[in-house]
Amino acid sequence: MAMETSEKIFGIIAIVFGVIAIGVLIWGFTKYPTEKACGERFVLDEFPIFGITNLKPITLLVYSAFICWMCGLESLRFYLSKLPFPIKRLAFVAFFFFVFVYSYEVIWNFFAWSEAYILEGGKIHIDLIQHLLTQTNPKAPCPNNLVYTTKTQFLFLASSLYGVYFFHEIMKNFKKKNSK
């Protein structure tokens, strides 16, 4: 009975934070229908949070999406634990692959961010620095805002890490249950 209650609570939390994330997306596309750099619409403003701090829309979006992801997985724990072991193992491996991919991307973005800031002579606000390679790539539709890109890639990295942890726990419990 307690499992069902906690899964419902996690489900409700996932829905609430999913709605917040979607709300931030709608707000960004409504307020800034066009942008010079991909993702720039989500770094131009800040939201006051309970008079304590301010968050950029991308920060609120990333935090909300991550909480939605974690609570969504937790709300489905019972169902996902019933998947065949090879499927759980495959999900574990896939999430670990994404950890590898996004670890590289996050590290690379910080180097690109630093390089761009140095090349601009420190004269541009760090939130408005754009990805230099996409500025010079003729196939890119627009340059990427590095704050936006880095935070979204951190979201993918953190979500992948939680996926690894989540499926590791499910597999560990499966092995424990079947070894008795």
Q: For position 138, what pLDDT does the model report? A: 61
Residue 114 is predicted with a pLDDT of 78
Two structure tokens written together for 149: 């890109």
The length of the chain in residues reads 180
Nearest to 144 by CA among 153, 55, 99: 153
What are the structure tokens assigned to 126, written together? 């760090």
Q: 10 Å Cβ neighbour count for 54?
A: 11
- pTM of the model as a whole: 0.85
**Residue 130 confidence (pLDDT):** 63
- pLDDT reported for residue 38: 83
* pLDDT value, residue 139: 67
Ranges of residues in the chain whose predicted pLDDT is under 50: 1, 133-134, 136
pLDDT recorded at residue 127: 67
pLDDT of residue 110: 81
For 50-70, give the DSSP string: TTTEEE-HHHHHHHHHHHHHH
The pLDDT, as a whole number, for residue 100 is: 97
- Amino acid 3: pLDDT: 62
- Residue type at 2? A
Distance (Å, whole) CA 144 – CA 80: 36
Instruction: Scan for tokens 């634990």, then name that residue.
Output: 81
**Whole-angstrom distance, CA of residue 116 vs CA of residue 70:** 33
Domain ranges of the chain: 2-178
Residue 156: the pLDDT is: 97
